[in-house]
């Protein structure tokens, strides 16, 4: 069944889209740019000052999601350039 190049590329396109979407969603579904330092706000007890501490953690942003969806769409488009599957002799 997967011997058709068109089908292989289409499956690959779906895998890329689902993979990137899942990765983006599981890492926080951040709708801004990617972060490799995540800010958290803390409060100093004595002074009451709030300050930012950064945690080294990667959070993919909208450009990763967009890039993945574009790559998937691109692969799907490329699949149209590939030949249709030829019917087997038994058909």
Q: Which residues bind other proteins (CB under 8 A)?
A: 31-39, 44, 46-52, 54, 61-62
- Output the CA torsion 55→65→29→42 (10° steps): 20
In 3D space, the residue among 21, 22, 30, 19 whose CA is nearest the CA of residue 57 turns out to be: 30
Residue 86: CB minimum distance to other proteins, A: 47
Residue 71: CB minimum distance to other proteins, A: 20
Nearer to other proteins, 1 or 49 (CB): 49
Task: Count CB neighbours of 21 within 10 A.
Answer: 15
Residue 24: CB minimum distance to other proteins, A: 15
């Amino acid at each position: 069944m997967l011997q058709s190049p068109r089908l292989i590329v289409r499956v690959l396109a779906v895998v890329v889209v689902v993979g990137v979407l899942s990765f983006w969603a599981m890492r926080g579904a951040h709708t801004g740019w990617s972060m490799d330092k995540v800010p958290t706000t803390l409060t100093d007890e004595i002074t009451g000052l709030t300050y930012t501490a950064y945690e080294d953690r990667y959070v993919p942003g909208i450009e990763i999601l967009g890039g993945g969806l574009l790559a998937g769409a691109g692969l799907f488009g490329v699949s149209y350039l590939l030949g249709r599957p030829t019917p087997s002799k038994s058909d």
